[in-house]
Chain A
Amino acid sequence: MLVGSALSTAGVSFQGVFRNPLVSPYILGVGAGSGFGACLGILLWDNHLVIQLLAFAFGLLAMFAAISMGKVSKGTGTLAFVLSGIIVSSIFTALISLAKYVADPYDELPEIVFWLMGSLSSIRYVDLIWIIVPMFIGTLVLFLLRWRINILSLGDEEARSLGVNVDKMRLIIIICATLVTSAAVSISGVIGWVGLVVPHISRMIVGPNYNRLLPMSMVVGASFMLLVDDLARTVTATEIPLGIITSLVGAPLFAYLIKRGRMGWN
């Protein structure tokens, strides 16, 4: 539930900051970064805690790489962040492939693949302590700043004319959303679609105002994840990786929403 809420909060925040409803929490390369961190952990130490820490660390590293690259290419604002996110993502995806290539095909490779597909089954309560702090801080800041996300979604110039320090505000929101995302990814693996679909469902329920939208996304995200996790554990005798279920459920749902034309944006 934490993971679902975290991914959804991050997703909905990113959508506001980037003024694009098709943005997901992995936009700055956090998914690929954490993925590589986990691969590295599996390859070198194969210790549960180390894997998580590395996933978290590389998720943050990917974020800072993307942000500093985005800031160097001045003037284009959000587009620069998106582009550098794509660059960082592709680098880490390549590194993941490399890790898979050198991994022991009988032992390490299955573990890597399984981790990348996302799973909640191996989480113990001890692990939660590690991620609860960054998740709580990130979510709290985003929750408090939720009104300002509205303003940022108007565009840079208008936000500036309303007295908002756009660059600083955007950076804070991006950092918090990424922090929350990488914390989630570090324990659950790469779970797709949640951060994209849940904000849309929430937007259909309460409208686009972040005052209501952000808390709603947290609740819907948590419920969605609980549902999917239950499905994953009960549909077959062996647990199906979560990433598969969220994609199988999320993608058609998204397609249905598009067809209905009630996406909650213009």
Chain B
Amino acid sequence: MELILEVESLRYSYGKEPVFENVSFSLRGGEVMCILGPNGSGKSTLLKCIAGIFKPAAGSVRIMGEDTAVLGAGNIARRIGYVPQQNEVVFPFTILDFVLMGRTPHISIFASPGAKDMEIARESLAIVGIADLAERTLSSLSGGQRQMALIARALAQQPALLLLDEPTAHLDFGNQVLVLEAVQKLASSGISIVMNTHVPDHAFLVGSRAAALCDRRLLAVDEVAAVVNSEIMSSVYGVNVAVREIEDLKRKVCVAMLERFDPLRI
């Protein structure tokens, strides 16, 4: 598979202190990269830099071989779909109208979306399984459905790369799994995905690769099993973390352990 995304020695700073520096990794078509890291480590900022929302202080982001610094916002938006962590919509757009907005980079500046765009928006809704919600308003949806609507809007951009900023945050257990299933489905259709998550175990479920953003740099970029191990996870989060193989499920799990937990005393 060809290289879709190449991030090279990326650095970003709000003031003098860099949020992160020397961040490098690359991604091929259909791969899912899970980025882990504590609160405030700059995971969201990293995604926004890749999406072209923030301008990095140094380094480069190449999408399908072309530098985003010279591509221009419209070209970037045709290749990269960004799904924000939270969104606050002031006006009660219908889901269909909302997803149609993902067609913006494909529409000339004075035009409005046409029949073809409408078709693509409906397809995007169908892919994430909420086609029946097309006429509902965003505010009437549950958290899980909202997340799906956001992903559908990014899909309507027909991107090669999807950036998901903590797509499972604030969702219940079942909805988290539904989102992960959607991620898996999209990746198998050939879309590359970079996903921030607070749950290391999600990397085992959907990740082809993982990395940890911590102390202003990307600690490890590797196969999931090489990144999500008890040693690295414990040092990244500063708590005790165990990784075990579950035999009958044939997969590894990552679990946290409380410091003073002593089974013999209960």
Q: Are B89 and A266 in contact (CB under 8 A)?
A: yes
Q: Are A20 and B77 in contact (CB under 8 A)?
A: no
Q: State the CA gap A19–B89 with chains docked (Å).
A: 9
Chain B, residue nearest A203 (CB): B91
A148 at the interface (CB under 8 A from B): yes
Q: Are A155 and B87 in contact (CB under 8 A)?
A: yes
Q: Are B76 and A163 in contact (CB under 8 A)?
A: yes
Chain B interface size band reads 35 or more
B143 at the interface (CB under 8 A from A): no
Q: Are B91 and A208 in contact (CB under 8 A)?
A: yes
Q: State the CA gap A163–B108 with chains docked (Å).
A: 11
Q: Are B89 and A154 in contact (CB under 8 A)?
A: yes
A100 at the interface (CB under 8 A from B): no
From A144, A158, A165, A208, contact of B93 by CB (8 A)? A208
B204 at the interface (CB under 8 A from A): no
Q: State the CA gap A161–B102 with chains docked (Å).
A: 10
B9 at the interface (CB under 8 A from A): no
B73 at the interface (CB under 8 A from A): yes
Interface residues of A in 207-227 (CB under 8 A from B): 207-209, 211
Say yes or no: A163-B91 contact (C-beta < 8 A), given A144-B110, A209-B97.
Answer: no
Interface residues of A in 77-99 (CB under 8 A from B): none
Q: Are A21 and B112 in contact (CB under 8 A)?
A: no
From A16, A154, A266, contact of B101 by CB (8 A)? A154
- B98 to A: closest C-beta gap in Å: 9
Q: Are B92 and A264 in contact (CB under 8 A)?
A: yes
Interface residues of B in 1-55 (CB under 8 A from A): 48, 51-53
Q: Are B109 and A148 in contact (CB under 8 A)?
A: yes
Q: State the CA gap A31–B90 with chains docked (Å).
A: 26
Q: Are A266 and B104 in contact (CB under 8 A)?
A: no
A160 at the interface (CB under 8 A from B): yes
Say yes or no: A165-B92 contact (C-beta < 8 A), given A145-B109, A148-B109, A155-B87.
Answer: no
Q: State the CA gap A208–B32 with chains docked (Å).
A: 36
Interface string of A254-266 (1 = CB under 8 A from B): 0000000000111
Interface residues of B in 76-105 (CB under 8 A from A): 76-78, 80-82, 84, 87-94, 97, 101-102, 104-105
CB-based A-B contact count at 8 angstroms: 86
Say yes or no: A211-B84 contact (C-beta < 8 A), given A163-B74, A163-B76, A164-B73.
Answer: no
- A50 to B: closest C-beta gap in Å: 37
B139 at the interface (CB under 8 A from A): yes
Q: State the CA gap A145–B97 with chains docked (Å).
A: 16
B111 at the interface (CB under 8 A from A): yes
Q: Are A161 and B101 in contact (CB under 8 A)?
A: no
From A20, A147, A162, contact of B157 by CB (8 A)? A162
Given contacts A19-B90, A21-B90, 13 further A-B contacts (CB under 8 A): A148-B104, A153-B91, A154-B101, A158-B82, A161-B52, A162-B104, A163-B73, A163-B78, A163-B104, A207-B92, A208-B97, A264-B91, A265-B90
Interface residues of A (CB under 8 A from B): 16, 19-21, 144-148, 150-151, 153-155, 157-158, 160-165, 203, 207-209, 211, 264-266
11 examples of A-B residue contacts, CB within 8 angstroms: A144-B110, A145-B109, A145-B110, A154-B89, A157-B53, A161-B77, A163-B76, A164-B104, A207-B94, A208-B93, A209-B93
Interface residues of B (CB under 8 A from A): 48, 51-53, 73-78, 80-82, 84, 87-94, 97, 101-102, 104-105, 107, 109-113, 139, 157
